[in-house]
Structure 1
Amino acid sequence: MNPGVVSRSSDPIVRPYTERCADLLSTGEHALLGISSFNSYYTDERVEQLLSWAFCEFSRVNVLLPGAEASWIPSMRGANPGRARKRARQEVARVRRRVQRTLADLGVDDPDAVTFTWTEMADNAHYDRILEQAWAGYQDNEEFRSACESISTRVLQTNFGEANPDPWTRESLIGYLLAELPFLVDTPRILGVPNSVFCYHRESPMVELLSRSSFSPRISADQGHIVISIEDEPVVPAPRAAAEAVREGFAVR
């Protein structure tokens, strides 16, 4: 808990992936909020609600923004590689300013220390090790590569209605999926926290893939995942009661 942070909004809807995720959520140790660029879901109001909830529920919070690989999105909109990279940098910078402004408004002492992109973690040994494992799996394991390409196709179809980008765009999207992967696998080792819950507003197909397979890298026992959203949906058990709700047989949706 962060008693100095002002809570201004009602709690979001929270759904842990598994009972283990619910247990990690209930500890309140650390939350990593993934916030996308080029995503209209993240309005000022939603960003404020998500951050306010996180800082009231967890002892420590960080915000993960996309890195350079976000250039696949403007590339799909017709930008050439150079222009796509520039637009991605501009958009990530814009989202960072929004997040840091909200953090300051909520009373967080050092907003800049809370927020980072995965590109900025390039010197982190644990991040680099997991990323190398992910790329090795993609290059050497046909099943893993096929699964990643299937996920990328699903992402393209969902967001753009087609799945036949040029090779540079496809490579950037695969890079995007793999660059985020270390934080889905072992944020505790990367950031030096006892345990962590990765929070995003929709289910991650990469988490599903890593959870049901024998691919390396494997998800750490101290790494949890939740879907957290702000929608007009039925009320769910409060985050602190999530683990108890699962044990009592209630669905956390």
Structure 2
Amino acid sequence: MTQAAFAPAETLRLQPYTDHCRVIADEGAHVVIGVSPGNSYFTAQRLRELTRWGMDHFDQVDLVYTDLHVSDMYEALGYGADEARRKAVKNLRGVRAKVAAAVAEADPTGVRVRGRGMSEFGDVPAYRALHRTVLDAVAADPLVRETCDALTGIFLAGKLAPGQRTDERQREVCRAYICAEVPLFLDTPAILGVPSSLNCYHQALPLADLLYGRGPGLRASRNQGHGILTPTDTPDRGAAR
């Protein structure tokens, strides 16, 4: 569905990252709404709001949550292996249930709205190729690695004790967690076979500065967009570039 503008009286506000991202948003073909397991922002009510918003503005909606490296992350944060596995299972069971409930309520047919774990993309050739590209870029391009490390710092900031420094094992696991998600910021259309796609999250990420920069390097495809999707009562983060 083509959307000329987003209705002002909504509970959620989209800020496309660039003017080109706004064009992709207006096309309204497909949206990925990222859901972080263990993040208190993603309540059952919030997921219902996100799903309804997606259906109002896009032909297809995918709620995607990360279900890779979660146990490894808990272990790197200091939990024993068994406890880390238990926490990961409990965490992922909760997010799956909330996502499934939001999807079933919004679209019982499952035609327009789907809930997916990142692990479901592992057998998709385009995802595997993009993931390899990301790993190679992290290894070879200092700017990509610095950006990844900045994301690692953001991710770990709320999980460590005050004054605790990150160690290399934590950074390594967090990089793996992040790199599993990056292909959906690079080229969701290639992965899912949709004409264009907007990837939405509720926070500004250093990754966007990298992927939508000028010149060579790791860059989003022309039919891939990004937007910051927040409740309307949060401060505006600025206009598209």
TM-score per shorter chain, which class?
A: 0.7 to 0.9
Shift in Å, 1:61: 0.7
Change (3 A) 1:147 1:59: closer
Give the match for residue 97 of structure 1.
Answer: 97
For residue 4 of structure 2, what is the aligned residue in structure 1?
A: none
Specify the alignment match of 2:199 in structure 1. Answer: 198
TM-score normalised to the size of structure 1? Answer: 0.80
Contact 2:29 2:58 survives alignment (8 Å): yes
Decide which moves more: 85-94 or 186-195. Answer: 85-94
- Partner amino acid, structure 1, of 2:18: T
The yes-or-no answer on 1:39 pairing with 2:39 is yes
Any conservation in 2 of the 1:139–1:145 contact (CA below 8 Å)?
Answer: yes
Match of 1:144 in 2: 144
Name 2:117's counterpart in structure 1.
117
Amino acid at match of 2:223: D
Residues 215, 91 of structure 1: alpha-carbon distance in 2 compared, 3 angstrom cutoff: farther
TM-score, length of structure 2 as denominator length: 0.84
Report which of the two has the higher share of helix. 1
- The residue that corresponds to 2:71 in the other structure is 71
Q: CA deviation at 1:199?
A: 1.0
User: Cα offset for 1:213?
Assistant: 6.2
Deviation at 1:201, TM superposition (A): 0.7
Q: Give 2:33's aligned amino acid.
A: L
Taking a change above 3 Å as real, the CA distance of residues 18 and 113 of structure 1, as seen in their structure-2 partners, is: closer
In the other structure, the counterpart of 1:172 is 173
Deviation at 1:219, TM superposition (A): 0.5
Identify which range, 226-235 or 168-177, moves more after superposition.
226-235
Q: Shift in Å at residue 144 of structure 1?
A: 2.5
Contact 1:188 1:223 in 2 (8 A): yes
Give the share of equivalent positions with the same residue, in percent.
27
Q: CA deviation at 1:40?
A: 0.5
Q: Please name the residue that 1:188 is paired with.
A: 189
Q: Distance in 2 between the 1:83 and 1:233 partners?
A: 36
Which runs of no fewer than 5 residues in structure 2 stay unpaired?
2-8
Aligned-residue CA RMSD in angstroms? 2.8
**Deviation by residue 1:182-234 (Cα, 9 ceiling, x = unmatched):** 00000000000000000111112212222236564321010011111125247
